[in-house]
Structure 1
């Protein structure tokens, strides 16, 4: 069990290439105006070196474990398929959340809401309980080598954690602020600073179209989708007249409006990636692109297992465990039955997202995240020489 204390944390400069500099403690004595735990004011015992996964024993001697890795984004970018393949590795475990993957805790349940409604507030102990079954396996003789080292690891695959910062106003360190200062990345770092992070991103235009049909939002046609996009953009533009982009993207009222129209806010990847790189070193985050992953699943899984430091699998093992299957899980079947996106909608979304794609490519120093290849592909499908 964590105990209340004042602890030091770290503050990162705006440059994503600079290392963190330790500054004054950010645990504050302001009155907590919500029922949400003040995670920056708690500290846990050191993790046990005989466990690869971050684990410790509480005052009752019970083994408690956090996830070794978090697959935090993005929605409708193939995260469910990826997490399913990752946890087919015999030494990698999931959790007892949705699909054995999503805990919904960091971005939703700790604040008392989910996508659309209020729910019971869940505390940190509730979060740890998602990993009870995994902890038992991690501690078992089957996952312990002859030297007593426990080599199995567990993961959390909640994609909303990457971008849904609506709960920022309930974080005590943000009391009285007009813009968020402490966000999910700060909290995750505080309790698990060495956690490995995986973020998979898809062309934001295609992601939005898939997401729209997946959630069965305002209509079931390309024309209804266009109308929903126009509505959602108007909500964002109105907000930006008075607030910063990050604040608008983290606004609860805006989320309610977008959740009933088109969730354009999820696609501004650079705004969210900046927040994760503000806190975590670049080498601690594996960035993947959905289009590349789909084209070559096998090599990407090798890359993921290497990143996680787990035992590499042979080709025959990848096949026997079902890791390199061609068929993908959780495909949005309703979208497959629909016609193509209207050209005017695609043009509108290109104008919306392209500046942020350029920022993302600059941050990651990788032009693949401009998604120019997808633009060319769509041009060819439309019978155009150029777009």
Structure 2
């Protein structure tokens, strides 16, 4: 069965698929479509599940629009953990077919490969999808959607010390011209208060998957008032505390995918030995190791998405901020190290 997706922006964010086998449209969420059987005659890990006749039928139906294959690799996260740099180096492998853009965000937002770091923390509109309706945490999520579309997919996840990740995210994504360690501290204190209040009455997983609360917690009083008046806006300051609670989201992927289909790497290790990281990644993806000269070309690429000079001048966060963030993340780092059976994921205050 070959599938072509088109968005249908109406109640419950339904999606329509063209089922070539039955020559009909299938409407609903991803689980409405039977698991896909792939064409294994094509050499290499990145395959299309479609015949020439099927392709002609679809091209005629959709007036010659470009046909796309489902991704084999998903670099799902986490933001500010070296994903842009790793993705760019992977695309330079001679046997890798790069997508037209790094982050299509189809699973996380634009459904209503893929290297969308938002895929890690779930679809933006998960409360409206399928069996999630009426629940305060996902019953079905992106890990299950990916597995349903391609059970042989490979999942890449980069992490780093969550305290440093949060500061890096604030500097990179906040739209305020007045970013500072003091303002960051105020936002963190406010956000910690909101999450601690949430955790008194709800499960950890429920609080971490609550995207509206995550956005609301970073807003100023003025932004909150505008939001209460039904104004659609994004917070100026981006400080997504929940993204560093890695074990909650990683556990959802490990429940679905075999352990050898999920590669989790630390940015700290990537920085210490980038060549070994790349070789390990290529092996994981089933790609042959390039020749020494080609590997050197890939390694000579300038590091992507580094901190801008203006943000470097801002220095680091306050020590008081680092302390309270470490205390918040400490039990979650412990849970991550237990989940992965590796003590190096039990980050201290500075790595």
- Same fold at TM > 0.5: yes
Whether 2:200 is the aligned partner of 1:241: answer: yes
Give the whole-Å Cα distance in 2 for the aligned partners of 1:252 and 1:156: 21
| Partner deviation per Cα, 1:311-361 (whole Å, 9 max, x = no partner) | 111222112xx3112731111214312122111000000001011011001
2:157 maps to what in 1?
199
| Greater alpha carbon shift after TM alignment, 185-194 vs 218-227 | 218-227
- The structural deviation recorded for 1:248 is 1.4
Residue among 64, 71, 82 paired with 1:67: 71
* Alignment size in residue pairs: 299
1:266 maps to what in 2?
243
Residue among 160, 185, 190 paired with 2:148: 190
Give the whole-Å Cα distance in 2 for the aligned partners of 1:281 and 1:171: 25
Q: Cα–Cα, structure 1 residues 268 and 303, in superposed 2: closer, same or farther, change >3 Å?
A: same
Whether 2:298 is the aligned partner of 1:323: answer: yes
- The structural deviation recorded for 1:45 is 4.8
- The structural deviation recorded for 1:165 is 4.2
CA contact under 8 A between 1:166 and 1:250: conserved in structure 2?
Answer: no
Q: What secondary structure is seen at the aligned counterpart in 1 of 2:81?
A: coil
Whether 2:347 is the aligned partner of 1:354: answer: no
Give the whole-Å Cα distance in 2 for the aligned partners of 1:61 and 1:95: 22
Q: What secondary structure is seen at the aligned counterpart in 1 of 2:109?
A: helix
Residue segments in structure 2 that go unaligned for 5+ positions in a row: 5-9, 16-28, 56-66, 219-234
| Greater alpha carbon shift after TM alignment, 62-71 vs 282-291 | 62-71
Once superposed, what is the RMSD of the aligned Cα atoms?
A: 2.1
1:57 maps to what in 2?
50
Whether 2:340 is the aligned partner of 1:364: answer: yes
CA contact under 8 A between 2:245 and 2:329: conserved in structure 1?
Answer: yes
- The structural deviation recorded for 1:159 is 1.0
CA contact under 8 A between 1:2 and 1:43: conserved in structure 2?
Answer: no
Q: What secondary structure is seen at the aligned counterpart in 2 of 1:48?
A: coil
2:85 maps to what in 1?
81
CA contact under 8 A between 1:71 and 1:83: conserved in structure 2?
Answer: yes
Q: What secondary structure is seen at the aligned counterpart in 2 of 1:92?
A: coil
Q: What secondary structure is seen at the aligned counterpart in 1 of 2:125?
A: helix
Runs of 4+ in structure 1 over 4 Å off: none
Give the whole-Å Cα distance in 2 for the aligned partners of 1:61 and 1:228: 53
Q: What secondary structure is seen at the aligned counterpart in 2 of 1:76?
A: coil
1:92 maps to what in 2?
96
